[in-house]
Structure 1
Amino acid sequence: MAATELERCPATTLPDYVATSGNRTVRTLSRLELDLPCLEAWCHPREDKRTLCRIRGVMSPAPE
């Protein structure tokens, strides 16, 4: 993910990434920090800070 893509991400983002299990996963994240080549963020489902390195894309959440 390029830094310019991250800058366009909303405060809450849904990245599409490959988990260590090899499964495709989508998570709700906020408080994004770019630490190339990874992304550090607060993971809402896990209620913990996570580092994601195998990001395939980013989606915006559906408007409420």
Structure 2
Amino acid sequence: MRKRIYANDAERVAAHRARHGFVQLTVDIPVQTMLAFEEYLKFKDLSKRAVITKLLETQLLRKR
């Protein structure tokens, strides 16, 4: 059996985020918006991370 590198899943996730330069973003949105977003993700077979990152980069943070 492999030796555990991390004491728990929280440490494992924190290490993954640190290695890849990710931060956690939490927002409150209406239920209907979330349901529509989840349907979109299923239809396009994309991750939440990919869609939100692309939206932020192309819509809010683009150079003008």
Higher helix fraction: Structure 1 or Structure 2?
A: 2
Same fold (TM over 0.5): no
Identify the structure with bigger relative contact order (alpha carbons < 8 Å, sequence gap 6+). Answer: 1
TM-score by length of 2: 0.19
Of Structure 1 and Structure 2, the greater strand share is in 1
